[in-house]
Structure 1
Amino acid sequence: MTADLFSLLPTSALAAGAAPDIPAGRLVPAALLGIAVLVVLIVRFKLHPFLSLTLGALTVGAVAGVSMADVLDSYTKGFGSTAASVGILIALGAMFGKLLADSGGADEIVDTIIGRSGTRSLPWAMAAVGAIIGLPMFFEIGLVLLMPVIFLVARRSQQSVIRVGIPALAGLSAMHGLVPPHPGPLVAIDALKANLGVTLGFGILVAIPTIALAGPWFARFAARWVDVPAPDLFEGRESDDDNGPRPSFGVTMLTVLTPVVLMMGKALADILAGKGTAARTVLDFVGTPLIALLIAVLLAMFTLGRGAGMGIKQVSSSLESSLGPIAGIILIVAAGGGFKQTLVDTGIGQLVADWISGSGLSVLLLAWLVAVLIRLATGSATVATVTASGILAPLAAGMSTNEVSLMVLAIGAGSVFFSHVNDAGFWLVKEFFGLKVGQTIKSWSLMETVLSVTGLVLVLLLNLVV
């Protein structure tokens, strides 16, 4: 009898992978209430985003009138596919980043660039350092790694920590929001079925001028509003003589750029090489994100590990210790995939897509606005990206390859808009820099806003010429 009742509900299509025929009068409240539950649990009750996303997905299905069995089916399907496609990449990225830090390779990049810069060019050099370090690392890891360098440079150059630090943070944040293989862009690429190589190329094109404007240019003004000296932290790191040998700058840069070059090679092969040719087959394989990052990690074990005089046990220990801190990130990203799949399978995503299609408004602008609203509410760039991608996924099916990649970037730009008190990054910057809340808003939060708006403008301009 129970099975017969379930079969009468408009949810059988959900289990079959198609959107059920649920009225808009139920779908809209379901989406709004699901997102509201997600926001309230994260912001008000400080519940972990993994649990909040899970409960939000269940709320969406319950309000939409979908059976809990089918909701769980959708959620676990989205969770599993996201963990498989993105979780592995996050783990490999964490291993690579840990080797880069433990070997002294990151310090070598920083010291080399800073050593060749004058006082006036230091902010630009710091922006370059932030972008390079941010390419393979998560924002939080890059932030902690760069803090001693930011303070040391500020003290030696007798400049405000804001003048030196904001450009580095802009480089880190832009890479985090716009350029794969970071979790946010990868999730959006997976959800929207975007071309990785095209998105990577567009992401770098947008990121460079965005970093210049939100970093060195904005820092000139922010340093006037918030003029603070470097805190007395990390005073002991005036010299690296006692830290052992480092891999050379050239070897380190070659290793850092290896996965990017491989992924770009795949994109070029898809455009220039014919199907079935040896070059296309090889580049399609080695340019796949999983293989590209795997090659980078294996290469780093030799170039960075051996270059720093690390033994096999030290390299193994570094790789092992990298996985614990990112377990939570993988769970959040996978749960975001589950939440996204619930939105898609109930038909909410298609409803929004149909509304956007008939609204006459720019799809890219709306994608940015959706990400901005979720970012402001939850404080999480990753949650904003995965949720906005899930809502907009049905719309991407009818768009060109370039437009889908630009939508990924529009969502990424929106996901970093105005970091405030519900964002962990806000408190990291405040505490490390020794700022008050108001000072953090006038420097860090406004920098994130400039970065977000500039990214959107450049995406819209790029859309006019591609």
Structure 2
Amino acid sequence: MSPLTTLPALVSALLPLADDPPAPTAGTTQLVLAAVVSIALIVVLIVWVKMHPFFALMLGSGVMAVAANMGFANAFTAFSSGVGSTLGGVGVLIALGAVIGKFLTESGAADEIVDTILSKTPAKRLPWAMAGAAFIIGIPLFFEVGVVLLIPIVMLVAKRAKLPVILMGIPALAGLSALHGLVPPHPGPLIAIDALDANLGLTLALGLVVAIPTVIISGPLLAIPMARWVPIPAPDRIVGQRVDEGGRRPSFWVALSVVLMPVILMLAHTLVVALRVDTTGWGSVLSFIGTPLLALLITSLYAMVVLGLALGRSTSGVASLTGAAFGPVAGILLIVGAGGGFKQTLVDSGVGGVIGDGIIQAGVPVLLAGWLVAVAIRVATGSATVATITASGIMAPLAAGLTDVHLALLVLAIGAGSVFLSHVNDAGFWLVKEYFGMTVGETFKTWSLMECAVSVVGLAGVLALGAALV
């Protein structure tokens, strides 16, 4: 069955296999109004009051519970339950991913990957090389870390090659953004996988398939006309330019092995399960070490050895670097946990089922519905994480009973929607603007348009896979 079919036929075929959704705590009109008011409150608190998303999501969850007749005494019961389950399922993976990213950046491994790729690339192929480098290091690195790491390189390459900054920068940003929205272990896809109970390895494999054409179209190809619209040169003073400290770097292949190890382990797990050989000797081993937690744990320990001890760091130095990786992700973990709490409130109130019924009656395809919901929340809040959390909570009742492939595609559709149209309410908008030295208008014509392209092309890829994998 294709996920492009309309939802009435899809849900009628699949829901008998699913658990019964929670009974609504109020009438349809009241639940819809409660959801609208709570989401609007979150938007207002984040965008206009400038409140931290953790508190905005918590308050929005409380308002949702009270407005949906869940009672004052139970206003935060579902929220607390959702926080615990989300952090239990996703929090450890994010923390392990942060450790891997920290060792990649601090050891110079990420720099080694980028420099090696660029050194072997002729000038006319540099935009493609930047996209490829961003794609590779974007697998384990959070988006903001990748931007801070790559932008100085983009500026330096553009200056040496005497090419417009946008011609180099857009491919790099497209690579980072596509991976951020579509490929675990980034927080957004992990949140959606946890909320929809999707298969992580399968989502990773399909996410990479979708991400490749998405990066090509919205990166090197789209950068050509953008460089004509905004032909800014590299500045004389490059903000954040790296200084060679003369320390030892790992080889290119060692650095690449750290990046690819969790991907290979998780894909191996998915393959042995799909081939039903996970009960054999080697199959059971691959199935065990390829689970997300084990794959990232093994990679973290491997990174500590090859990017820490092997480069001359002491055991205490490795421990110190590991501890330093946790601080920057504390805020992400709080937002993710609060988002899980809000999602659980939506589910327990029954509003997800009510909205799902409305989507069914409207005949909107499930993948398109997930994308549209994520787009609406993304444009309103400016947060890809909040968009993913909210859309996953709303779509959860419709996901019950879907096949593993369809669940993975729904995760990717939501992820694609979560990066749509970055504008003035998104911190990433201002980060890119300042690094590139652009005006607000120029940032809209480059970065914002690129984000729209990543989102739309990503959705097209998801729909194409949905049509093919019937």
TM class, shorter-length: over 0.9
1:404 matched residue in structure 2:
407
Q: Distance in 2 between matches of 1:328 and 1:407?
A: 26
Q: Deviations over 1:8-41 (max 9, x none)?
A: xxxxxxxx99334421021000010010001010
Given the alignment of the two structures, is residue 224 of structure 1 paired with residue 234 of structure 2, yes or no?
Answer: no
CA contact (8 A) 2:192 2:389 kept: yes
Q: Distance in 2 between matches of 1:147 and 1:317?
A: 27
Given the alignment of the two structures, is residue 316 of structure 1 paired with residue 315 of structure 2, yes or no?
Answer: no
Aligned residues: 450
Q: Distance in 2 between matches of 1:83 and 1:232?
A: 45
1:299 matched residue in structure 2:
302
The letter for the 1-side match of 2:49 is F
1:3 matched residue in structure 2:
none
2:171 matched residue in structure 1:
167
Given the alignment of the two structures, is residue 286 of structure 1 paired with residue 289 of structure 2, yes or no?
Answer: yes
Indicate the larger mover: 325-334 or 59-68. 59-68
TM-aligned CA deviation for residue 99 of structure 1? 0.4
2:374 matched residue in structure 1:
371
Q: Distance in 2 between matches of 1:170 and 1:120?
A: 18
1:87-98 paired onto structure 2 within 5 Å = 87-98=91-102
Given the alignment of the two structures, is residue 110 of structure 1 paired with residue 114 of structure 2, yes or no?
Answer: yes
Q: Distance in 2 between matches of 1:159 and 1:200?
A: 34
1:44 matched residue in structure 2:
48
1:419 matched residue in structure 2:
422
CA contact (8 A) 1:269 1:279 kept: no
Q: Distance in 1 between matches of 2:368 and 2:426?
A: 23
Q: Deviations over 1:359-388 (max 9, x none)?
A: 222111111010000000000001000110
Q: Are the structure 2 counterparts of residues 26 and 177 from structure 1 closer, same or farther at C-alpha, using a change threshold of 3 Å?
A: same
The letter for the 2-side match of 1:458 is G
CA contact (8 A) 2:416 2:458 kept: yes
1:144 matched residue in structure 2:
148
1:10 matched residue in structure 2:
none
Given the alignment of the two structures, is residue 244 of structure 1 paired with residue 257 of structure 2, yes or no?
Answer: no
CA contact (8 A) 1:178 1:185 kept: yes
CA contact (8 A) 2:21 2:350 kept: no
1:133-212 paired onto structure 2 within 5 Å = 133-212=137-216
CA contact (8 A) 1:18 1:345 kept: yes
Structure 1: stretches of 5+ with no match in the other structure: 1-15
Q: Distance in 2 between matches of 1:374 and 1:20?
A: 23
TM-aligned CA deviation for residue 310 of structure 1? 2.3
TM-aligned CA deviation for residue 316 of structure 1? 1.8
Q: Distance in 2 between matches of 1:457 and 1:89?
A: 29
Q: Distance in 2 between matches of 1:459 and 1:345?
A: 29
Q: Distance in 1 between matches of 2:385 and 2:237?
A: 30
Q: Distance in 1 between matches of 2:25 and 2:100?
A: 46
CA contact (8 A) 1:248 1:307 kept: no
Q: Are the structure 2 counterparts of residues 233 and 329 from structure 1 closer, same or farther at C-alpha, using a change threshold of 3 Å?
A: farther
Q: Deviations over 1:193-223 (max 9, x none)?
A: 1111111111000000000000000110111
CA contact (8 A) 2:61 2:341 kept: yes
Given the alignment of the two structures, is residue 445 of structure 1 paired with residue 448 of structure 2, yes or no?
Answer: yes
1:16-31 paired onto structure 2 within 5 Å = 18-31=22-35
CA contact (8 A) 1:104 1:308 kept: no
Q: Deviations over 1:238-258 (max 9, x none)?
A: 773x33110000111111100
Q: What value does the CA root-mean-square deviation take over the aligned residues?
A: 1.6
Q: Are the structure 2 counterparts of residues 229 and 346 from structure 1 closer, same or farther at C-alpha, using a change threshold of 3 Å?
A: same
Normalising by the residue count of structure 1, what TM-score does the alignment of the two structures yield? Answer: 0.94
2:260 matched residue in structure 1:
257
Identity %: 56
2:4 matched residue in structure 1:
none
Q: Are the structure 2 counterparts of residues 239 and 49 from structure 1 closer, same or farther at C-alpha, using a change threshold of 3 Å?
A: closer
Q: Deviations over 1:258-277 (max 9, x none)?
A: 00101001100111133532
Normalising by the residue count of structure 2, what TM-score does the alignment of the two structures yield? Answer: 0.93
CA contact (8 A) 1:378 1:422 kept: yes
The letter for the 1-side match of 2:27 is P
The letter for the 2-side match of 1:91 is A
CA contact (8 A) 2:278 2:287 kept: no
Q: Deviations over 1:75-108 (max 9, x none)?
A: 0000011111111111111111010001010110
CA contact (8 A) 2:343 2:389 kept: yes
2:129 matched residue in structure 1:
125
Indicate the larger mover: 327-336 or 356-365. 356-365
Given the alignment of the two structures, is residue 464 of structure 1 paired with residue 467 of structure 2, yes or no?
Answer: yes
Q: Distance in 1 between matches of 2:242 and 2:393?
A: 47
Given the alignment of the two structures, is residue 392 of structure 1 paired with residue 395 of structure 2, yes or no?
Answer: yes
TM-aligned CA deviation for residue 237 of structure 1? 5.0
Q: Distance in 2 between matches of 1:146 and 1:223?
A: 18
Indicate the larger mover: 65-74 or 103-112. 65-74
The letter for the 1-side match of 2:120 is R
Q: Are the structure 2 counterparts of residues 328 and 209 from structure 1 closer, same or farther at C-alpha, using a change threshold of 3 Å?
A: same
TM-aligned CA deviation for residue 318 of structure 1? 1.5
Q: Are the structure 2 counterparts of residues 31 and 236 from structure 1 closer, same or farther at C-alpha, using a change threshold of 3 Å?
A: closer
Q: Are the structure 2 counterparts of residues 187 and 238 from structure 1 closer, same or farther at C-alpha, using a change threshold of 3 Å?
A: closer
CA contact (8 A) 1:192 1:393 kept: yes
Q: Secondary structure at the match of 1:71?
A: coil
1:4 matched residue in structure 2:
none
Q: Secondary structure at the match of 2:311?
A: coil
TM-aligned CA deviation for residue 152 of structure 1? 1.0
The letter for the 2-side match of 1:199 is T
Q: Deviations over 1:318-359 (max 9, x none)?
A: 111111111000000110000000000000111112222232
Using CA pairs below 8 Å that are at least 6 residues apart, which structure has the higher relative contact order? 2
TM-aligned CA deviation for residue 311 of structure 1? 2.4
The letter for the 1-side match of 2:314 is G
Q: Are the structure 2 counterparts of residues 411 and 21 from structure 1 closer, same or farther at C-alpha, using a change threshold of 3 Å?
A: same
Q: Are the structure 2 counterparts of residues 350 and 342 from structure 1 closer, same or farther at C-alpha, using a change threshold of 3 Å?
A: same
